[in-house]
Amino acid sequence: MSRLEKRFASFQAAGKKALIPYICAGDPSLGSTVPLLHELVRSGASAIELGMPFSDPMADGPVIQRASERAISRGSNLDFVFNCVKEFRKTDSDTPIVLMGYANPVECRGQEAFIRDAAEAGVDGVLIVDYPFDEVPEFYEAVKKAGMDPIFLLAPTSSDERVEQVCRLATGYLYYVSLKGTTGAGNRLDIASVRQNVARIERYAKCPVAVGFGISNGETAREIASVCSGVIIGSALIREMDKTPDDAVGAAGRWLAGIRAALDAA
C-alpha cells in the first residue's frame, strides 16, 4: 500500500475523515515552507497538497493566484519544491505529500525527469490539472511505475463515462471539485448536489473520494465530510495566513486545528 492508501485506510478504520490542506511552495516565504508543512501535520493534516507555483493557474481563484505570484517572485521553482519535500522527509516519513500544479513546469523539465525527481524527493501523489488522462496516458503510467499515485479531478459536469474511465486509473484518492468555476470564488455549496455526485463517483471508484473547492470553515467542512472520505482546503487557509503575515505559520496551524476539531466532533 502507498502512504496515501495507508493514511486513508487508517482514518476510515478509526471512523474519521481525512483533512488535506493545500499550500503553495514558497508562500508565505521560501524559508517558512518546510516549517509550515510540519505545522500543518501537527495541527491535524492527514496529507498535504503542495502547490507547484505557476504564473497562469487556470483552476485557481485570486487567493491562490496571488500566493503563486508571490512564490515565483521569491524564486520558488521545481527545484525548490523538490528540496522542500526532501527536507520535510528528514523528520516525517509518514505524511503523504501530493504535488499539485500545471503542465507547463512539467513540460519544461521533461516528464521523465519530473517523475524521477518527484519520486526521489519522497512525493506520494501527482495532480496535474491540465494533463487529461486520455491525452497523456504514458505520463500517468510512468507515475504509477515510479511508485506514486496519479490523482485526478472530477467535476459536477463529468459524465458517467468520464467518471468510469478516470476511476479505472486513479489511485490514492479522487479529487471531486464541488463547484463549477475556480477555487476560492465564494460560491455557495449545494450539499445535496455534492452528496449525489460523490455517490455517483463511488459506484465506480476504487479509492476514496475527497472534496475540495468552496470549503472555508469548520461547519462546511463537517457537512461536506459527512458525504465523502475527506475534505481539501486551500484558499481559506491561505487567506488566514495573509491576515497575519508576521505569524503566518502559527495562524495556519491554529486555523487548521479548528477544522480538524470540527471534523472529529462530527
Antiparallel, parallel or unpaired: β 18-24 and 174-177 = unpaired
Grid cell 472534496 is found at 211
Residue 100 pairs in a beta bridge with: 51, 127
The catalytically annotated residue of 5, 27, 39, 49 is 49
138 in active site = no
Distance CA 256, CA 181 (A): 24
In order, the DSSP letters of 32-55 are: THHHHHHHHHHTT-SSEEEE---S
Alpha-carbon gap, residue 35 to 194, rounded angstroms: 34
Q: Is 240 annotated as catalytic?
A: no
The one catalytic residue among 5, 39, 56, 60: 60
Would you state the cell numbers that stand for residue 15, as one nine-digit string? Answer: 471512523
**Looking at residue 216, what DSSP letter applies?**
-
Residues involved in catalysis = 49, 60
